[in-house]
Chains A and B, each alone.
Chain A
Amino acid sequence: MKKKKWPFVYVAVITVLTYIPILLTVVYSFNASKLTSVWEGFSLKWYRELFRDRDLGEALINSLILAVLSCAFAVLIGTSGALGMSRRKRKLDDAVAYVSTLPIMIPEIILGMVFLSVFSLMGLPFGMVTLVIAHTTFCVPYIFTMVRARLVGMDRSLEEAALDLGATKWQVFRDVILPQILPAILSGVLLAFAMSFDDVVISIFVTGPKVNTLPVKIYTKLKTGVTPEINALATVMLFVILLCLAGAYVLGRKSQTAVEKAAGGK
């Protein structure tokens, strides 16, 4: 079959369009004017203002702590759950698995509403604790589903072999199971972390007056008016992401060549 050009043109055009708003934020982050309609020359003043902003810095740290804690709990709960369920076929397990994925199936706003009402019923003070509980609920599904899918495709006879050879259950987990499910855990964490770090809707409902996460802070800033600082913040975030991706790419290359070398050496 002859390859046609226009599908690729289509994909390219749409991709470029999706990047225009992002590129505009980057360009305007260097604009000296406070207004986005005029260009008054190159300036770094919004970056200076950004790094001077204590509130934003604090919100960033809160967001990082929140994402790390939620992911850590989600890894423990999701991985152990997937492992426990992997070898049985019970209706109750399926029901629990289904309910556990609800937090990413229902609209975020309902989840926020659910937690707000329950936490106020329980009398829990709104703040980091409530944030972590709420975020953990929607982080668990990503990790649980990933690990469960990986376990289905895994050769379980290796575990039995290890057990037959006298390994303890812990050793089997550490040396046989964990290395095989680690990629699944990591890709689950990658998604869960991004979701937690970016969440506005649920956080607005369960955050307290003293704790701000970065997206909540940005949201209030955007609502109150023009803040070119946000352009600078967007640019910094984009830069950090590209840096991480480049790092991951280089590491991936290295391990790939290492594997190829090892394979070639045999």
Chain B
Amino acid sequence: MTKTKITSNSRRRSGNVGLMIPMYVFTILFVALPILYLFLLSFLQRAQVWGVDFTFTLDNYKRILEPLYLDTFWQSLKLAFTATFFVALIGYPYGYFMAQMNAVWKRRMLLLIMIPFWTSALIRLYGWIIVFRSNGVLDKILMGLHLTKQPLKLLYTYPAVVVGMIYSLLPFMILAVYSSAEKLDASLVEASRDLGASAWKAFWTVSFRLTLPGLLSGVVLSFIPSMGLFFIADILGGNKIVLVGSVIQEQITKGRNQPFAAALSAVLMVLTSVMIRLYRKITGTSQLEGMM
């Protein structure tokens, strides 16, 4: 704070430059430089015993092109696409319908969505172990209804991981769609109906177009984390499903190969920023809808 009394307007305006120092210092020191270091690290060699050897190499990137790792990337992308597709399919109508409720119910529904969000993500997944376990709740129900004869043994399978992903990511989609559907001007829909559009056509040409930023934002918000949620694949998929996230973690803990893990992260990061860029191109906005 300056002690001198400032009177001129322009001085007042520039008077709070000092306030930004913490933000600038912190962001540069702990966000910008570390991310730059990650890129640098991806071109370095791993040292013989422990740590990093500062000699330039492209080997880490060449190694990603090996079939084993390319396949891992492909598997991760496939899982992320599958999960995001279902999240959009379930979450879009949910958020859209929620926005049409009255104020009291809107608040109640938001609360209902947020409560699981506030419990631990891990603990929520634990519930699914109970459901999927061999002779667990799902098997009991299906066998009780005589739909299946023996336990399905769904735990530690691909479908279990997909369900876990959908479950963890759904709130992001719902909130993103909800926040853009809430801003939707109902009179526009009515106008199109009055002008003779069918309900379906009115939805498709007016509502859907206007809520598209929310949907796309939800897609970005669920696709990006789904690439790195290795603990879901770990807990619900056993060791059978290997994702990029799992490989990065493994390279660090077991392989002790930081540069290779850095190269994998760098590729993942580039993929991510391409997606965000695409989102900005399509919607023409910089802020992701429903992010906060």
Binding site for B on A (CB under 8 A): 1, 7-8, 10-11, 14-15, 18-22, 24-25, 28, 36-37, 76-78, 80-81, 83-85, 87-88, 93, 96, 99-100, 102-110, 113-118, 120-121, 133, 136-137, 140, 142, 144-146, 149, 160, 163, 168-170, 191, 194, 198, 200-201, 204-205, 214-215, 218-219, 222-223, 230-231, 233-234, 237-238, 241-242, 245
Given A218-B120, A238-B119, A8:B51 Cβ within 8 A: no
> Which chain A residues lie closer than 8 Å to B9 at the CB level?
160
- Bound together, the chains give a CA A29 to CA B258 distance in angstroms of 41
Whether the pair B131, A24 counts as a contact (CB closer than 8 A) is yes
- Enumerate 17 A-B pairs (CB-CB under 8 Å) in ascending A order: A11-B109, A25-B127, A36-B130, A77-B23, A80-B19, A100-B27, A108-B229, A109-B230, A110-B268, A113-B262, A114-B35, A117-B38, A117-B52, A218-B123, A222-B126, A230-B123, A241-B118
> Which chain B residues lie closer than 8 Å to A233 at the CB level?
123
Distance (whole angstroms) from the CB of B166 to the closest CB of chain A: 10
Whether the pair A113, B224 counts as a contact (CB closer than 8 A) is no
Kindly count the residue-residue contacts between A and B in the assembled complex, taking CB atoms under 8 Å apart.
Answer: 242
Residue-wise, chain B 97-130 has the 8 Å CB interface mask toward A (1 for contact) of: 1101100000001011101111111111111111
Given A11-B109, A81-B22, A133-B30, A215:B120 Cβ within 8 A: yes
| A237: contacting residue among B27, B123, B135, CB under 8 A | B123
Given A84-B17, A102-B31, A15:B126 Cβ within 8 A: no
| B261: contacting residue among A25, A96, A113, A204, CB under 8 A | A113
Interface size on B, residues (CB 8 A): 92
| B170: contacting residue among A18, A36, A37, CB under 8 A | A18
Whether the pair A15, B120 counts as a contact (CB closer than 8 A) is no
- Judged by a CB distance under 8 angstroms, whether B12 is at the interface is yes
* Closest B residue by C-beta to A241: B118
Residue-wise, chain B 22-43 has the 8 Å CB interface mask toward A (1 for contact) of: 1110111011111101100100
Among B55-63, B64-72, B203-211, B245-253, the one that faces the other chain is: B245-253
- Judged by a CB distance under 8 angstroms, whether B272 is at the interface is yes
